[in-house]
Amino acid sequence: MRTQLCAKINKNDIGKDVSLVGWVATRRDHGSLIFIDLRDVSGIIQVVFNPEISKSAHKIAGDIRSEYVINICGTVSPRPGGTINKNLPTGEIEVIAKQIEILNISKTPPFPIEDEINVAEDLRLKYRVLDLRRPKMQRNLILRYKICLFFRKFFDEYGFIEIETPALIKSTPEGARDYLVPSRVNPGNFYALPQSPQMLKQLLMVSGFDRYFQIAKCFRDEDLRADRQPEFTQVDLEMSFIKEDDILSLIELVLKRLFGEILNIDIKIPFHRLPYKDSMERFGTDKPDMRFSMELTNVSSEFQDSGFNVFNGVLKSGGKIYGINASGCSSFSRQDIDELTKYVANFGAKGLAWFKMGKETLESPIAKFFSKEILDKVSQKMNAKEGNLLLFVADKQSIVLDSLGNLRLYLAEKLKLIPEKEFKFVWIMEFPLFKYNETEKRFEPEHHPFTAPMDEDIQFFDSDLSKMHARAYDLVLNGIEVGGGSIRIHKKEIQEKMFKSIGIEDKERDERFGFLLEAFEYGAPPHGGIALGLDRLVMLILGEKSIREVIAFPKTQKAVCLLTGAPSNVDPKQLKELHIKPAV
């Protein structure tokens, strides 16, 4: 129906007859002349309807409206002097229409089909079909496709093969709730949608495939936020006979080449490696934004033996005191500081102590409780200079780090300290193998139960799980985790110890993981891998704030598709066939 795409026409086509199809982006009636911006997936071109060229086409053009689907035939012509639009690739030319056919009409859209719109996200998601017509959304999804294509070419070049793993698998605990699928032919039994292809890609290594990758769909039934969806996509890979450095250097290379090709940005490698403990103590999080400083400082020993009972009580109970130096913020009013105090309360902090650095010493309503020697030690440790505002939280270490880590980000945004177009990668290493669940009074895997412990820590399986560290690594970009992986357990006896440590008894272990343990008995190679979050990575490359901007048909924070109405009720007959009775 067309000779070419709208935005592919250029000055070299002047004088040629073309046939174009697309949507009416805008229509401007200047009386004798009618102008239409015709839009397709490539962009827009101006079409002119002149009654002296074609009265019938001009008449039909007078009746069309925005988002009508039309087919026009005409001649490419240079725009008259003074009408060139330098903001458009096709801004120097136009098409003089000779014929027009209305292929379909359209109701008035609920919002303009253009990039800069101020529309509630729920409305955009309800009318996602129209939202996806916007040039920005089409650019987003086209770039996502190009990134996927890049990964496929890269991993093929490095000896990987893409293998699809099943979407219907056995339900196994991996940290989040499974989405369950009832089996009609096996009444009372359920499949699970994969949270990741974790065990399956490990089995591929046992099968001898050596290097696997997959752009894999994953499903987790968990609470949502801006960077989460119930279904998401990851670039998944696994390699045999490798160590940590092999994985890290490969991922650094693929990302360097990706950013060079897509954004023409030279990413410096190798990426900085930061132990988990240092990340928590310096930034209050294992996902640090490294684009600005303002690090946390432990001043527990400097505040020892002061006359301030609040600090003394915290230190005697085993708590900690940390602070951050807000450079140049001594001009903050009491109201400003009260706002910061309310903010850290969201993370469990009971208060926020503050000092302003004067010409000679620290000044604060509570300064009288501290000797000059103590204040000098604190200001020296925190590198305080005149005009700085020092902010402190005293509490359990977990609360202190969480409060100040989030306050650091809050202040950075408020003070505009974050370079918007900078990309700062960092590897977080040396994670604990386990974390302690205070509610259930038991240890859980920090990542997942297939992560290998450091060799020197295997001895602690039978004595002190808190001393064990993982051969795991997370990749963080601008404060967002974009990848995570580990060297895997490949020996049956170590895997059994891991299951036992997290409270999985032998019977449950054999029922849920027997196939994996049996595979390990037939010569499993040392192996490891990583998964990169495709949605998050594309989001960051595009500078978007939510992964919903880079997914064609996303769900809301309540896991609802406003376009289709999923999830929805089903016919009772279907439930009966599945031997399921609704609870409500």
Write out pLDDT tens, residues 312-334. 999 999 999 999 999 989 999 99
User: If pLDDT is split at 50, 70 and 90, which confidence band does 43 have?
Assistant: very high
Per-residue pLDDT at 229: 92
User: If pLDDT is split at 50, 70 and 90, which confidence band does 198 have?
Assistant: very high
Mean pLDDT, rounded, for 183-206: 95
Per-residue pLDDT at 174: 58
Q: pTM of this prediction? A: 0.93
Asked whether the beta carbons of 542 and 145 are under 8 A apart, the reply is no
How do residues 265-278 score in pLDDT, each as one tens digit? 999 999 999 999 99
Position with higher pLDDT, 359 vs 346: 346
Q: Distance of CA 237 to CAs 198, 214, 524, Å? A: 10, 6, 17
How do residues 512-538 score in pLDDT, each as one tens digit? 999 999 999 999 999 999 999 999 999
Asked whether the beta carbons of 379 and 362 are under 8 A apart, the reply is yes
Rounded Cα distance, 371 and 304, in Å: 11
How do residues 360-391 score in pLDDT, each as one tens digit? 889 999 999 999 999 999 999 999 999 999 99
Q: Which of 322, 340, 327, 343 is nearest to 280 (CA)?
A: 322
Per-residue pLDDT at 358: 87
> Helix 334-345 vs helix 397-414: angle between axes, to the nearest 10 degrees?
130
Cβ neighbour number for residue 17 with a 10 Å cutoff: 13
Amino acid letter for position 284: G
User: Residues of the chain with pLDDT > 90: what percent?
Assistant: 91
Residue 175 has pLDDT above 70, yes or no: no
Residue 399 has pLDDT above 80, yes or no: yes
Per-residue pLDDT at 500: 94
Per-residue pLDDT at 333: 93
How do residues 1-16 score in pLDDT, each as one tens digit? 999 999 999 999 999 9
How do residues 447-462 score in pLDDT, each as one tens digit? 999 999 999 999 999 9
Full 3-state SS string of 26-83: EEEECCCCEEEEEEECCEEEEEEECCCCCHHHHHHHCCCCCCCEEEEEEEEEECCCCC
Rounded Cα distance, 457 and 467, in Å: 7
Mean pLDDT, rounded, for 292-321: 94
| Burial of 176 (C-beta count, 10 Å sphere; 0-12/13-18/19+) | middle
Residues 6+ apart with CB under 8 A from 333: none
Per-residue pLDDT at 483: 97
Cβ neighbour number for residue 458 with a 10 Å cutoff: 13
Residue 469 has pLDDT above 90, yes or no: yes
DSSP class per residue in 475-497: EEETTEEEEEEEEBP-SHHHHHH
Mean pLDDT, rounded, for 201-228: 91
Cβ neighbour number for residue 441 with a 10 Å cutoff: 7
How do residues 425-442 score in pLDDT, each as one tens digit? 999 999 999 998 888 888
| Burial of 187 (C-beta count, 10 Å sphere; 0-12/13-18/19+) | exposed
Per-residue pLDDT at 98: 97
Residues 6+ apart with CB under 8 A from 276: 286, 428, 429, 430, 431, 432
Rounded Cα distance, 431 and 286, in Å: 9
Residues facing residue 397 across a β-bridge: none
User: If pLDDT is split at 50, 70 and 90, which confidence band does 581 have?
Assistant: confident
Rounded Cα distance, 134 and 144, in Å: 16
Radius of gyration for the chain, computed over Cα atoms and rounded to the nearest angstrom = 30
Of the listed ranges 151-155, 222-226, 473-477, 542-546, the least confidently predicted one is 222-226
Could you list the beta-strand ranges (E) of 167-266.
179-182, 190-193, 211-219, 231-240
Q: Distance of CA 443 to CAs 17, 164, 438, 447, 505, Å? A: 72, 33, 9, 12, 14
How do residues 124-147 score in pLDDT, each as one tens digit? 999 999 999 999 999 999 999 999
Residue 121 has pLDDT above 90, yes or no: yes
User: Residues of the chain with pLDDT > 70: what percent?
Assistant: 99
Asked whether the beta carbons of 443 and 502 are under 8 A apart, the reply is yes
Per-residue pLDDT at 328: 85
User: If pLDDT is split at 50, 70 and 90, which confidence band does 176 have?
Assistant: confident
